[in-house]
Amino acid sequence: MAALVLLLFSVGALFFSSNAADAYKKLPEIHRKGVDVALEKVNSHAGIQNHFLFYRSLTPSETELGFGVKYIYHHFYLKATKCQKGTTDSSSCRFRNDRPLIDCAVCYKTLEGEIEQEPKPYVHCIHRPALTQEMHLERVKHCQSLAYRSGAPTLLASTGNE
């Protein structure tokens, strides 16, 4: 009986961790690039001891401007794993349930599927219990300031060879 319980627990843990990897793989590539930027920032933070992985997407959005330009906003959660910080192969890392989620919002401009360095990508990640409504509003405000402004110069504004 104990062996059966252990087997069921192991299969459940494997299923749960593979679902997290599947959630990341199901993201569009351009959203995965933003998640990777946030993961790099979080996993390099001095106060972090465990390796973090993508957990769940909350609000992904894209604004297409044409000529291969898009603005991306993505709100998602990261979750601590049982692996130590600096882990290179995270395929065997299991999520911890005794740590709070990290709430992240990223926004950035892309050109032909690549993140542009200007304007600088915005990354804001914080442990969920510490996130306030004011912080959330500031995130949205900052990301909206990156958005396209009508009247900006475009190819359509060209008048010829002058």
Domains annotated for the chain, with CATH where assigned, are: 28-148 (3.10.450.10)
Q: What is the value of pTM for the model shown?
A: 0.77
Q: How far apart are alpha carbons 113 and 15 in whole angstroms?
A: 31
d(CA 3, CA 58): 38
Say what the pLDDT of residue 108 is: 96
Rounded mean pLDDT of 60-77?
Answer: 93
CA angle, 122 then 125 then 131, to 5°: 120
Residue pLDDT, tens place only, 47-58: 888 999 999 999
**In the structure encoding, which two tokens stand for residue 115, read together?**
């993140």
pLDDT at 156 (0 to 100)? 52
DSSP bridge pairs for 115: 110
Distance from C-alpha of 121 to C-alpha of 108, rounded to nearest angstrom: 5
Instruction: Give the start-end residues of each E strand in the chain.
Output: 50-66, 69-84, 102-111, 114-115, 122-127
* pLDDT tens digit sequence for 101-159: 999 999 999 999 999 999 999 999 999 999 999 999 999 999 988 764 444 445 555 55
**What pLDDT is recorded for position 17?**
43
Strand pairing category for 114-115 and 102-111: antiparallel
